[in-house]
A and B are shown apart, each in its own frame.
Chain A
């Protein structure tokens, strides 16, 4: 959007100059934005700026922060053995978990958009993992993925595969977490948003394609998918942000282990902030991580112009 819309609006501005109409449009735009501006100034911006300042200080919460320049940043990049590996690990988890989650959620949404009998029931059942208490799910997953008595390895053994150690194995802990997150999220928020997006696919277009003899795949690829790209984009951008910020999953099921195999960046920040009470250092870590996330998100918006289709966009 940033790129395409700003260049588009720049072009439009040149064409129309700053006509009274354009000025009115801008004024109204600010008016509808006003609640956000007030909220940001009053509740959000201050704490953000404060954390940016704290990242340049030594601050243990008990005593007032002491300015120490770039020391936190230098330490993180040069001396902290856990910081960079934790970022790489987090990306590994995101790369493993996002693609299957996106594809499966969209397929489930398309499935649950069909005209089944008792549709409400199926949708609710698929959504249940989101409502399942985390404590219970954690106990259950530890059993399912137990290398010796677990259900998953039992099933693998039936087809002659010796299952790995999953959560207790250094190599398999992250794939195991990705598997758990897939189960939790496939029918959850992401799927529901896809389902809402699918309502924007005009039925006439689908029927027209049917009359033209389009098969299921052609209908999906040429009609459905282009119309849901705005929700695909939404789920992709937020999916990446949320996957890279994963905390609960690792905190509850592995506590970052075994041997720090699931020590994600969010755990590292948490550890420094609330266990060693090194809030200045935690802020520096958080801001470096923020810059990575921001760059990634910005890049996605720049690239989105070529694949996201908005019916209500000025061209």
Chain B
């Protein structure tokens, strides 16, 4: 009887583990299903853009759209982009401006966010809301005053307006983002370091910054993508075509016809090809950088 009972117990426990294992496997199967379906839905327009960049212009507007190009012209279309515009020059310009601006924005917004998150001083809330306000006022109405400002500084048709301001503040989006992340770091860490005689700069450099790595990687990647595709500033502050940045250069394929240039017909297929080439560096960066987004930090027993 004892044996029977023991066997019964064993059976039950075996059943339980198999059912647990089955539900575990079932859960993962479901998660994989969701992630695969979501990925396909997300990537479809990008893939379609790629396929369309190898089509003839007339095929692009067929309703309903075709998926595969009837007569693939990938090589011709991409060559045409490089033939029509100084694409390489623009890419180099864009890389230069974006990287310089990004360095300024990341460094400066981290420092400013540190001030907002960790120090108490009169006027802090006021300054913080003024910072946020810069995101709320529509740019349309500050554009002309800004143009006049940079004109007076003699900065028009240079990269200064696109790079220098980044070093002073780094933008409200970045400041607010970093403030949120710094505020999740327990104050005990700062205070322990201060008791050991660390200066506030050392706290920033050796405690806050390492703990904010996922946030900084995120901010830097998003900042790169934003800067790489920035349109309005470069459009207004730069005149010489050889100084253009890629996003502005793309306009060539939109307005070329209006300007009576060689391209007296719509060129959306070339626009797509050029847009994809512009997106490529962002795609690669995102692919490479994202392991830092999720780089967990071991802080056993400190957080929470």
Footprint of B on A, CB under 8 Å? Answer: 1-2, 5-6, 9, 12-13, 22, 25-33, 35-40, 42-44, 46-48, 50-51, 54-55, 61, 108, 111-114, 116, 120-133, 135-137, 139-140, 143, 146, 149-150, 183, 186-187, 189, 192-193, 195-200, 202-205, 227, 230-231, 233-234, 237-238, 241, 245, 266, 269-270, 273-274, 279, 282-283, 286-287, 289-290, 293-294, 297-298, 310-314
CB of B197 to closest CB in A, whole Å: 14
- Report the 10 A-B pairs with minimum CB-CB distance, sorted nearest first: A39-B168, A29-B119, A133-B275, A32-B115, A50-B145, A125-B39, A47-B145, A26-B121, A136-B49, A39-B169
Chain A residue with minimal CB distance to B122? Answer: A26
Q: Which of B184, B186, B297 contacts A230 (CB 8 A)?
A: B184
Tell whether, in the assembled complex, residue B137 and residue A286 are in contact, meaning their CB atoms are under 8 Å apart.
yes
Tell whether, in the assembled complex, residue B167 and residue A35 are in contact, meaning their CB atoms are under 8 Å apart.
yes
- B299 adjacent to chain A (CB < 8 Å): yes
Assuming the A-B contacts A46-B145, A126-B39, are A131 and B283 also in contact, with contact meaning beta carbons closer than 8 angstroms in the complex?
yes
* Per-residue A-contact encoding for B178-203, CB less than 8 Å = 1, 0 else: 00111111110000000000001000
Q: Which of B39, B136, B141, B283 contacts A273 (CB 8 A)?
A: B141
Report Cα–Cα, A46/B278, bound state, in Å: 34
Report Cα–Cα, A66/B35, bound state, in Å: 59
CB of A299 to closest CB in B, whole Å: 12
Tell whether, in the assembled complex, residue B112 and residue A36 are in contact, meaning their CB atoms are under 8 Å apart.
yes
Task: Tell me which residues from 2 to 40 in chain B have a Cβ below 8 Å from any Cβ of chain A.
Answer: 31-32, 34-35, 38-40
Tell whether, in the assembled complex, residue A199 and residue B214 are in contact, meaning their CB atoms are under 8 Å apart.
yes
Footprint of A on B, CB under 8 Å? Answer: 31-32, 34-35, 38-43, 45-46, 48-49, 52, 60-61, 63-65, 108, 111-112, 114-122, 124-125, 127-138, 140-146, 148-149, 164-165, 167-170, 173, 175-177, 180-187, 200, 204, 214-215, 217-218, 221-222, 225, 268, 271-272, 275-276, 278-279, 282-283, 286-287, 290-291, 293-297, 299-301, 303-304
Sample of 6 further A-B pairs with CB below 8 A, known A26-B122, A192-B222, A196-B293: A35-B167, A36-B112, A50-B148, A125-B39, A200-B303, A204-B301
Tell whether, in the assembled complex, residue A29 and residue B176 are in contact, meaning their CB atoms are under 8 Å apart.
no
Tell whether, in the assembled complex, residue B124 and residue A29 are in contact, meaning their CB atoms are under 8 Å apart.
yes
Tell whether, in the assembled complex, residue B65 and residue A143 are in contact, meaning their CB atoms are under 8 Å apart.
yes
Report Cα–Cα, A235/B108, bound state, in Å: 21
Tell whether, in the assembled complex, residue B287 and residue A120 are in contact, meaning their CB atoms are under 8 Å apart.
yes
Tell whether, in the assembled complex, residue B45 and residue A137 are in contact, meaning their CB atoms are under 8 Å apart.
yes
Tell whether, in the assembled complex, residue A35 and residue B135 are in contact, meaning their CB atoms are under 8 Å apart.
no
Chain B residues near A196: list those with CB within 8 A. Answer: 181, 214-215, 217-218, 293-294
CB of A216 to closest CB in B, whole Å: 9
Tell whether, in the assembled complex, residue B31 and residue A111 are in contact, meaning their CB atoms are under 8 Å apart.
yes
Q: Which of A149, A150, A266 contacts B138 (CB 8 A)?
A: A266
CB of B292 to closest CB in A, whole Å: 9
Q: Which of B35, B116, B282 contacts A131 (CB 8 A)?
A: B282
28 contacts between A and B (CB under 8 A): A1-B128, A26-B120, A29-B124, A32-B111, A32-B119, A36-B115, A39-B165, A43-B165, A43-B168, A47-B146, A112-B35, A122-B39, A127-B42, A127-B286, A132-B279, A137-B49, A146-B63, A187-B38, A196-B294, A197-B181, A202-B304, A230-B180, A230-B183, A230-B184, A279-B144, A283-B141, A312-B182, A312-B186
Assuming the A-B contacts A1-B128, A202-B304, A269-B140, are A129 and B46 also in contact, with contact meaning beta carbons closer than 8 angstroms in the complex?
yes
Tell whether, in the assembled complex, residue B138 and residue A245 are in contact, meaning their CB atoms are under 8 Å apart.
yes
Report Cα–Cα, A238/B42, bound state, in Å: 23
Say what secondary structure dominates the interface of chain B: helix
Chain B residue with minimal CB distance to A273? Answer: B140
Tell whether, in the assembled complex, residue B120 and residue A25 are in contact, meaning their CB atoms are under 8 Å apart.
yes
Tell whether, in the assembled complex, residue A128 and residue B125 are in contact, meaning their CB atoms are under 8 Å apart.
no
Say what secondary structure dominates the interface of chain A: helix
Assuming the A-B contacts A47-B149, A269-B140, A290-B133, are A234 and B185 also in contact, with contact meaning beta carbons closer than 8 angstroms in the complex?
no
Q: Which of A133, A205, A314 contacts B187 (CB 8 A)?
A: A314
CB of A98 to closest CB in B, whole Å: 16
Chain B residue with minimal CB distance to A140? Answer: B45
Tell whether, in the assembled complex, residue A35 and residue B111 are in contact, meaning their CB atoms are under 8 Å apart.
yes
Report Cα–Cα, A200/B183, bound state, in Å: 11
Report Cα–Cα, A53/B303, bound state, in Å: 49
Report Cα–Cα, A270/B140, bound state, in Å: 7
* Most B C-beta atoms less than 10 A away, residue of A108, A132, A298: A132
Tell whether, in the assembled complex, residue B120 and residue A294 are in contact, meaning their CB atoms are under 8 Å apart.
no
Chain A residues near B293: list those with CB within 8 A. Answer: 192, 195-196, 199
* Most B C-beta atoms less than 10 A away, residue of A108, A120, A279, A310: A310
Report Cα–Cα, A5/B130, bound state, in Å: 17
Tell whether, in the assembled complex, residue A1 and residue B296 are in contact, meaning their CB atoms are under 8 Å apart.
no
Tell whether, in the assembled complex, residue A126 and residue B180 are in contact, meaning their CB atoms are under 8 Å apart.
no
Chain A residue with minimal CB distance to B304? Answer: A202
Assuming the A-B contacts A47-B146, A192-B293, A233-B180, are A32 and B112 also in contact, with contact meaning beta carbons closer than 8 angstroms in the complex?
yes
Chain B residues near A283: list those with CB within 8 A. Answer: 141
Tell whether, in the assembled complex, residue B183 and residue A312 are in contact, meaning their CB atoms are under 8 Å apart.
yes
Chain A residues near B133: list those with CB within 8 A. Answer: 48, 290, 294
Chain B residues near A266: list those with CB within 8 A. Answer: 138, 140
CB of B256 to closest CB in A, whole Å: 14
Tell whether, in the assembled complex, residue A227 and residue B168 are in contact, meaning their CB atoms are under 8 Å apart.
no
* Most B C-beta atoms less than 10 A away, residue of A108, A111, A202, A290: A202
Report Cα–Cα, A124/B39, bound state, in Å: 9
Tell whether, in the assembled complex, residue B286 and residue A124 are in contact, meaning their CB atoms are under 8 Å apart.
yes
Tell whether, in the assembled complex, residue B279 and residue A131 are in contact, meaning their CB atoms are under 8 Å apart.
yes
Chain B residues near A282: list those with CB within 8 A. Answer: 140-141
Report Cα–Cα, A55/B120, bound state, in Å: 35
Chain A residues near B132: list those with CB within 8 A. Answer: 237, 297
